[in-house]
A and B are shown apart, each in its own frame.
Chain A
């Protein structure tokens, strides 16, 4: 069982450290480096994979604090798993407040140590008993999600067409969900505003589709949900985000191939079959869209992705698109389509685009 495996891994690591200390040797923790520099893009597999670079945190005066924190975090994981409990990342941060000097000052510190422990054991944090408190994303459209009642175990059929002007929230753990649908495709949308517009006009009914709001960079749960749904029902996934370097390099890329930070988990948390609908730099010209000038950080982000992102480096069309955007010096928001009328996006833009999915960016 997965839980036993986690306890065994933690105990084995702790025993190793214990023995080294008694042998008067410097104990160390070895974990993969979590950054874009340590991932490679495997087109065949469709996601970022660790290259195997490891960092070794040897116990010394400089590392003693983080070292102690990592061990206490491991101990917390073991307790959570053994008692079948869960804690959010925020709660874990508050637990540390009871560790005196070893406490974390900011949640970002505890998150980083948590990510380290996760990478150390090559398991995801849900298996360690941690759940993210972030919202997983929202769903509306031609889909029935099959879940189970937490107490009675009774099967629940959640009809995503029946949320009216609201939507179904993706839970933090999606592994046991089932799906029923005859939709033709999934549309993943960056902003809640655009999602609302499409839901309000029941655009999913007209196009026989499933709409998912990502609300920025998609969470692990959201990515996993889309992946499982798409795999199970053989549905194409189209992505509709703002036309800026953040939308391309962060939101879309993370959805499709995963993140550099959690590369040890990308295998599960990616949607390799995703295709990019828009807004593309060419759309700005073709649809005569109002724009904003690129900010300093946008340009830096764009150049950075051209230089360092293995995904962008693998795909010529993406390099062209980003270079075009830099050259135009502008960015465009999804909502900019409203220039031609509020419903232009549903009546003209999306149908036009969907008529030629072959032209979508990879």
Chain B
């Protein structure tokens, strides 16, 4: 992974764009910092094939000032990389590849460090151990905000007696700790729900005992493979950069080697309308010609990208996570087949818990996820929310007002997994509504809706049957009494009459 890492020359990006990155309010800053650290830890563990064990701590150090600590059992980071990963914006292994992972831009953790540095002046403290035969390294870093370079304040070896590998990050920052829907606890709970293979401990400020979210399943999710970009998802700017960066010497070879699903025939068909030669050097393609190439892509029929690059949570795992955390009568999950929007493979999953102790007369709880990361803000702008709201839940046995979430004792999780999740902004809180995504969301919700309806109807049938029995037992004796009075029946005759009628009524299927 280290060999793939390159620099992106962006400096002071953060100071101008912190609202885009999730640091626009003190409450959100605290949450975003934890989020970025947890996302990084989980991605690192999974890539290394390690079942993640995380510990998150928040300590109060002053008024509106906290020290956040996130520790994992991941593979650790080699000594040389530590300063650049944590002390340089837009440095990462994730930006130049297409693969389903939590973080996407590599902005996250260093931005959190920068925020801490800007608000408290304190360095980011990192300890990491990559090898059981070597000691852990302790770093204290600040970022040179002009040159976008890490400055090492302290560096030493550290003793890690009981952990063979892992990383611990500590950031001190100004923030506001809040409970509730947008809070840290809610985020961790939701993370545990969508990542049943993770074991999580959380020590909230002022608490002495950590909150524990135990692991619900013992297997790691299937590894997500990196894929090359698919031509349908490429725009001119990206194409120009790829043309500059490629090692291919000929245009035809460039298309075949840098893109997925492009064979010799498709490559020729893409190049043809531009008037360029298949042997032209990629570096000598002008922007005008690049646009022609994009047109060529549009007119060429190219198979969909491979979808084995996706790693859905899985129906069983969704249900296991829900059962672990939510007390309910009924659990269900649907994982759709992968699909493609603009050349990017994606997959939709939904899970639900219904009944039990969930509040029956409130709107349902909707949890949104992108690549297993909970989305807690901007619900209204998100394609997931829109899809849930526009689904006709009444036909599945829930109440629903126009333009609102349905009402009922239900918790609904919706997960979008993709090599490139189309967020509406850099803060990664809402998913954009591409037609193909909306369609898959709708189908998934309808499918799980039908499962729910079957459950609700079964319950309804049982209640109806019980009501029927009660009704029959309550009123049939009166028919007996009346007929006995009118016809002067003996008690024995009357008993026989009631017994016969009761029996006949039970057998009748008419309700």
Chain A contacts to B: CB under 8 angstroms: 10-11, 14-15, 17-18, 21-22, 24, 26, 59-62, 64-65, 67-69, 71-72, 74-75, 78-79, 99-102
Q: Name A71's closest neighbour in chain B (CB-CB).
A: B482
Main secondary structure on B side of the interface with A? helix
Q: Which of B476, B482, B501, B508 contacts A72 (CB 8 A)?
A: B482
Q: Which of A60, A64, A65, A74 contacts B482 (CB 8 A)?
A: A74
In chain B, positions 452-511 with a C-beta closer than 8 Å to chain A are 468, 471-472, 474-476, 478-479, 481-483, 485-487, 489, 496-497, 500-501, 504-505, 508, 510-511
Q: Name A61's closest neighbour in chain B (CB-CB).
A: B468
Q: How far is the CA of A60 from the CA of B481 in the complex (A)?
A: 18
Q: Which residues of B contact A11 (CB under 8 A)?
A: 486-487
Q: How far is the CA of A116 from the CA of B478 in the complex (A)?
A: 18
Q: Name B497's closest neighbour in chain A (CB-CB).
A: A21
Nearest-neighbour CB distance to chain A for B490, whole angstroms, equals 13
Nearest-neighbour CB distance to chain B for A97, whole angstroms, equals 14
Q: Are A102 and B486 CB-contacts (below 8 A) given A22-B497, A26-B508, A61-B511?
A: no
Nearest-neighbour CB distance to chain A for B56, whole angstroms, equals 57
Q: Are A101 and B475 CB-contacts (below 8 A) given A21-B501, A61-B510, A62-B511?
A: yes
Given contacts A11-B486, A64-B505, A78-B486, 7 further A-B contacts (CB under 8 A): A26-B504, A59-B479, A64-B471, A68-B476, A71-B482, A78-B485, A101-B475
Most A CB atoms within 10 A — which of B468, B472, B479, B487?
B479
Q: Are A68 and B479 CB-contacts (below 8 A) given A15-B487, A61-B505?
A: yes
- In the complex the two chains form, is A24's CB within 8 Å of B486's CB? no
- In the complex the two chains form, is A24's CB within 8 Å of B500's CB? yes
Q: How far is the CA of A101 from the CA of B496 in the complex (A)?
A: 21
- In the complex the two chains form, is A72's CB within 8 Å of B478's CB? yes
Q: Are A71 and B510 CB-contacts (below 8 A) given A14-B486, A18-B497?
A: no
- In the complex the two chains form, is B479's CB within 8 Å of A61's CB? no
- In the complex the two chains form, is B487's CB within 8 Å of A18's CB? yes
Q: How far is the CA of A68 from the CA of B427 in the complex (A)?
A: 68
Interface size class of B (residues with CB under 8 A): 20 to 34
Q: Which residues of B contact A72 (CB under 8 A)?
A: 478, 481-482
Q: Pull 28 A–B residue pairs with CB atoms less than 8 Å apart, ordered by A.
A: A14-B486, A15-B487, A18-B483, A18-B489, A18-B497, A21-B500, A21-B501, A22-B496, A22-B497, A22-B500, A26-B504, A59-B505, A60-B508, A61-B505, A61-B510, A64-B476, A64-B479, A64-B505, A71-B486, A72-B478, A72-B481, A74-B482, A75-B481, A75-B482, A78-B485, A78-B486, A79-B485, A100-B478
Q: How far is the CA of A75 from the CA of B482 in the complex (A)?
A: 6
Nearest-neighbour CB distance to chain A for B354, whole angstroms, equals 28
Q: Which of A10, A26, A71, A79 contacts B479 (CB 8 A)?
A: A71
The 9 closest A-B pairs by CB, nearest first: A71-B482, A68-B478, A14-B486, A102-B478, A75-B485, A64-B475, A68-B475, A75-B482, A72-B482
- In the complex the two chains form, is B500's CB within 8 Å of A65's CB? no
Q: Which residues of B contact A68 (CB under 8 A)?
A: 475-476, 478-479, 482
Nearest-neighbour CB distance to chain B for A47, whole angstroms, equals 33
Nearest-neighbour CB distance to chain B for A202, whole angstroms, equals 54
Q: Which of A10, A14, A65 contacts B475 (CB 8 A)?
A: A65
Nearest-neighbour CB distance to chain B for A334, whole angstroms, equals 48
Q: How far is the CA of A65 from the CA of B476 in the complex (A)?
A: 8
Q: How far is the CA of A327 from the CA of B500 in the complex (A)?
A: 62
Nearest-neighbour CB distance to chain A for B500, whole angstroms, equals 6
Q: Which residues of A contact B489 (CB under 8 A)?
A: 18
Q: Which of A22, A60, A67, A75 contacts B510 (CB 8 A)?
A: A60
Q: Name A79's closest neighbour in chain B (CB-CB).
A: B485
- In the complex the two chains form, is A101's CB within 8 Å of B478's CB? yes
Q: Which of B468, B478, B497 contacts A99 (CB 8 A)?
A: B478
Q: How far is the CA of A11 from the CA of B483 in the complex (A)?
A: 9
- In the complex the two chains form, is B471's CB within 8 Å of A24's CB? no
Q: How far is the CA of A100 from the CA of B511 in the complex (A)?
A: 23
Q: How far is the CA of A321 from the CA of B486 in the complex (A)?
A: 52
- In the complex the two chains form, is B511's CB within 8 Å of A75's CB? no
Q: Which residues of A contact B508 (CB under 8 A)?
A: 26, 60
Q: How far is the CA of A75 from the CA of B468 in the complex (A)?
A: 26
Q: Which residues of A contact B475 (CB under 8 A)?
A: 64-65, 67-68, 101-102
Nearest-neighbour CB distance to chain B for A61, whole angstroms, equals 5
Q: How far is the CA of A361 from the CA of B452 in the complex (A)?
A: 64
Q: Which residues of B contact A100 (CB under 8 A)?
A: 478
Q: Which residues of B contact A79 (CB under 8 A)?
A: 485
- In the complex the two chains form, is A14's CB within 8 Å of B497's CB? no
Nearest-neighbour CB distance to chain B for A350, whole angstroms, equals 54
